[in-house]
Structures are given as C-alpha cells and as structure tokens.
Structure 1
Amino acid sequence: MTIICRKALPEDVEALYELIQGYAAKGIMLPRSHEALSRNIATFIVAQDGDRLIGCGSLCRLGSDLVEIRSLGIVDGYKGQGIGSKLVDALIAEAKLQGIPKVMALTYEAAFFQKNGFKIVDKEIFPEKVWTDCVNCAKQHCCDEIAVVKIIEPVPENEQLSFAQI
C-alpha cells in the first residue's frame, strides 16, 4: 500500500462528496454540496491509494493569520494507519506555504489532534469562526465540538518549500 497526499483535482469532487456525506450522515461533519466542493477544490488535499481516494481535508482561511482544517475524513478500512496524520501534515505545510501561523479545528477527536501537536483551547478565542460559520449552525448554543489550535512557523522568505517536499 502506497499512500500519497496531493492537492485535489476537479475530477475528485464525486469521491469527496461521497466521503464527506458519509460523515455528515452520522452528524460528525458538515455536508458539502457538489457545487461547494467544485468551488473550493483548491482548498482540499486528498490521500490516495492507487486510483482510490481514501481521505481528505481542507483549509478554510478565517483571517490573515488563521486557517481552519475542515472536512478531515478517512474511508472505512483505512482508519488507524496514520493517513489522517499525513493529511494534517500536508495541510499544515500548505498553511506554512501561505504564511499563516495559526491552524485551528473544531473536532470530536481532540486526542487525534493533540497527538499531532495541537492544543485544546476555548472556542471563543476564534471570533472569525464564530461569526462566519457558528452563527448559522443549529448547534450554535449547544456546540459539543472541541476547539484545537497549532501555532506554526511560516516558511522564511529566503527559503522556498514546495508541496512535493511534504
């Protein structure tokens, strides 16, 4: 099994949709429409085993110094093999390339993110998130997700890093 992480392509939309819908049906991820996935395809990184898309995650910019990891999921049968950590590493590398020092997530899997260097924090320290997404969420007043954050060092201006180096 050779797993690669790469930037998502327009032809990945259907597989992304099916993966995300599986999580959304369980109430643990927000659903994304085909149109939203197509519009935001450049924000996604996927994990692939051969020709099969087996995982995904995206970055959503919330401010000049903050991005959120969203839609992080792995196909059943591939969980527990380090693929989620590979995706998180690739997403953090992408944030680094963009010069964004803070990466956050809202999650039900805080231990996974802690294992990947994130710290649990109070959701209220992210007004960018609260006013863009949470304000429209049905769980706004009874949110059971845990906020996590990781502070990263941006790539120095005199050093170039390519996505292939991840």
Structure 2
Amino acid sequence: MTTTLTCRKATAQDIDTLYDIIQGYAEKGIMLPRTKETLSVQLDTFVVAEIDGQLVGCGSLTRLGQDLVEIRSLGVSDGYKGQGIGKALVNSLLHEAKQQGIPKVMALTYEVAFFERNGFTVVEKEIFPEKVWRDCVHCKKQHCCDEIAVLKRLD
C-alpha cells in the first residue's frame, strides 16, 4: 500500500486536530499549550501534514523580528513518528521563511538531534532576546528552562 504525504497551509477545519496534537505534547510538558481560540487567530502561521487525507502533524512559523522566525508547535501524531513527517513539516516551514525573505530560523527544542539532522546548529538561547521577551517571560519554566536553542541560517 502506498501512502501519500503532503504538507499544506492549515484551515479552520484543522483546528480540532491541531489542538489535539499540540495538547498531547503539552500534557507531557514538552510543548506550550494552545487554546482553540489562539489556534484560530494564529491559523495562518500553521502548516499541517496529511497522509492519505488524514492530518498527522503540524508546525507553525512565528515572526520574532525583521530577520528571525521561530518554528513552534511542531508535532506528529502518535503512530506516525519516524516516517519523515517532521522533516517534511520543517522543510515546508523553511520554504515559507525563504519566501518571506527571512534569513534566520530558530527553535527551542528537546529534540536536538532531529534539528541537527535538518541543518540546524545548537546556539545559546540568550542570543534571541526577541523570544525571551515575547514568550519566555510568560513561561512557567522561565527560570529553569531546559530546552535547547537551535538556529539555521538561510542566507
């Protein structure tokens, strides 16, 4: 049986599944939760992955500054991990960043090896004051953050 993986911009019909995927990671403490209302407002930043028409992964691209965007809410449904879906989502988000003319893409992650395989390098998170002041200031892990910052330059 052949499966077809496609990535596309998220639509309003995807909100419930986006919420479920993100909530699964949030319950494990490895992703910030998002409400359905927040997802609705930020929907244009999301890309989803489908296998044979079933939504199985998501990720978003959030602008942090003139020359910097962050990959966030990157997740794959249980049962679909290890099939190249995360890589396809990252490639789609990197393409979007290039289209927008943004030269730097960062992420905060626990999956360093995954990002390194996709061309990112580990960096100090302090080089991203845009991220710290926008999001980290509201995070419960603010003073004990154990996520690793990664960066990929597109220029």
TM range (shorter): over 0.9
Cα offset for 1:51? 2.5
1:122 aligns with 2:124: yes
Aligned to 2:10: 8
Cα offset for 1:77? 1.1
How many angstroms apart in 2 are the aligned matches of 1:61 and 1:12? 22
How many angstroms apart in 2 are the aligned matches of 1:53 and 1:134? 29
Q: After the TM superposition, which residues 13-32 of structure 1 pair with which residues of structure 2 at under 5 Å, given as runs?
A: 13-32=15-34
Give the SS at the match of 1:139: coil
Give the SS at the match of 2:21: helix
How many angstroms apart in 1 are the aligned matches of 2:138 and 2:26? 17
TM-score by length of 2: 0.97
Give the SS at the match of 1:35: helix
In the TM superposition, what whole-angstrom CA distance separates every residue of 1:34-91 from its partner, at most 9, and x where no partner exists?
0000001000000001231100000010001000000000011110111100000000
Tell me the amino acid that sits aligned with residue 58 of structure 1: S
Structure 2 alignment gaps of length 5 or more = none
In the TM superposition, what whole-angstrom CA distance separates every residue of 1:77-122 from its partner, at most 9, and x where no partner exists?
1101111000000000000000000000000000000000000000
Cα offset for 1:136? 1.1
How many angstroms apart in 1 are the aligned matches of 2:43 and 2:141? 26
Cα offset for 1:29? 0.5
Aligned to 1:111: 113
How many angstroms apart in 1 are the aligned matches of 2:97 and 2:148? 21
How many angstroms apart in 1 are the aligned matches of 2:88 and 2:51? 13
Structure 1 ranges of 4+ moved more than 2 A: none
Aligned to 1:46: 48
How many angstroms apart in 1 are the aligned matches of 2:65 and 2:112? 23
TM-score by length of 1: 0.91
Q: After the TM superposition, which residues 126-165 of structure 1 pair with which residues of structure 2 at under 5 Å, given as runs?
A: 126-153=128-155
Structure 1 alignment gaps of length 5 or more = 154-166
Aligned to 2:75: 73
How many angstroms apart in 1 are the aligned matches of 2:101 and 2:79? 35
Give the SS at the match of 2:93: helix
Cα offset for 1:9? 0.6
Give the SS at the match of 2:82: coil
